[in-house]
C-alpha cells in the first residue's frame, strides 16, 4: 500500500505551493497535500493544519514509524509547523518553500515554492512520523 500512496504523492510534484491550498488546480500547502493523500485513501476528516494532523495521529491508533506513506512532522512537539509524506526513511514529498505570503502562482514562482521531493533530514526540526492504516483506494495513478 505504501508504494501506491507514494506514487499518488508523486503525481503532485511540480504543482505550486499555495498558502491554505488544498487542490491540484490552484496548489497545495503542506497540510492540504497531506489531507488530499489521506482522503484519497479512505480517511474522512475535518480540514486540519499540520499541528491538528499531528494531534490526530498521536491520539489515533497509527503506528509511529517512517515507511513509505508515513506522515512526517516538523516543528516542536507543542507547535508542529510542517508535514510531508515519506517516500522512504530518507526522502519525503512536501509542499514547501512558501509561507503566508505565497497566495498566487507568481509568488510561488518568485519564492521557488512547490510540491517537491526533499530529504527528511534537510530539516533540523523533525518531530516524528505516523503511518495511518490506509484503505485500498480507487485512485488511479
Specify the CATH number for the domain of residue 59: 3.90.1720.10
Q: Do the domain assignments include residue 136?
A: no
Dihedral, CA of residue 3, residue 133, residue 135 and residue 25, to nearest 10: -70
Task: Give CA 58 to chain center in angstroms.
Answer: 16
Report pTM: 0.92
Q: Is residue 109 part of a domain?
A: yes
Where would I find the beta strands (DSSP E) of 6-77?
A: 22-23, 27-28, 71-76
135 assigned to some structural domain: no
Q: Domain for residue 88, yes or no?
A: yes
Query: Does residue 140 belong to any structural domain of this protein?
Result: no
Mean pLDDT throughout 53-81? Answer: 91
28 pLDDT more than 60: yes
Q: What is the mean pLDDT of the chain?
A: 91
pLDDT for res 134: 84
Q: Is residue 6 part of a domain?
A: yes
Q: Per-residue confidence at 139, pLDDT binned at 50, 70, 90?
A: low
Pairing between β-strand 114-119 and β-strand 79-86 as defined by DSSP bridges? unpaired
- How many folded domains does the chain comprise? 1
Q: Phi, psi (5° rounding) for residue 85?
A: -110, 120
Domain carrying residue 67 = 2-130
Amino acid at each position: 500500500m505504501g508504494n501506491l500512496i507514494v506514487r499518488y504523492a508523486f503525481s503532485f510534484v511540480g504543482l505550486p505551493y499555495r498558502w491554505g491550498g488544498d487542490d491540484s488546480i490552484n496548489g497545495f500547502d503542506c497540510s492540504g497535500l497531506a489531507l488530499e493523500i489521506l482522503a484519497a485513501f479512505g480517511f474522512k476528516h475535518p480540514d486540519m493544519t499540520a499541528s491538528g494532523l499531528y494531534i490526530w495521529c498521536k491520539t489515533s491508533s497509527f503506528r509511529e514509524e517512517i515507511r513509505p506513506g508515513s506522515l512526517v512532522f516538523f516543528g516542536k512537539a507543542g507547535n508542529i509547523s510542517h508535514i510531508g509524506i515519506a517516500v522512504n526513511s530518507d526522502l519525503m514529498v512536501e509542499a514547501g518553500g512558501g509561507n503566508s505570503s505565497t497566495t498566487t502562482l507568481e509568488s510561488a514562482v518568485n519564492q521557488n515554492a512547490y510540491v517537491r521531493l526533499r530529504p527528511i533530514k534537510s530539516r533540523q526540526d523533525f518531530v516524528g512520523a505516523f503511518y495511518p492504516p490506509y484503505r485500498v483506494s480507487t485512485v488511479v495513478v
